[in-house]
Amino acid sequence: MSSFTEDAILETNHDADSPNTVTRVVVIAIDQSNYSHYAFDWAVKNFLRKESDLVAIALQGDAREEIVRKVSELNADGLIIGSRGLGVIKR
């Protein structure tokens, strides 16, 4: 598994100088599971705007702790994460 030494901006599509630019930060947490890939695909197709920036961040350690830490650090507006195949009742 490769690791990033810093956050990597994969794609930038917005005009940061425009006064109408509304910035929101949404974290999409993924791993190697099919559920995770489905959550990522869903978010890209249904949630992200075409003017959104896409940033990849690799984390190491306990996923629960690291995801919460990164969401807090980024002051994220939302978090999208796969459900491991569990429905709302089982989560």
What pLDDT digit, counting tens, does each position of 43-54 carry? Answer: 888 888 777 777
Q: What pTM was computed for the model? A: 0.64
89 found inside a domain? no
Q: Which of 6-10, 15-19, 32-36, 64-68 has the lowest mean pLDDT?
A: 6-10
17 found inside a domain? yes
pLDDT at 86 over 60: no
Domain that holds residue 28: 8-81
37 found inside a domain? yes
Answer with the residue of higher pLDDT: 86 or 39.
39
Residue 22: pLDDT band (50, 70, 90) is low
| pLDDT over 90 percentage in the chain | 7
90 found inside a domain? no
CA distance 69 to 71: 6
88 found inside a domain? no
Quote the number of domains for the chain: 1
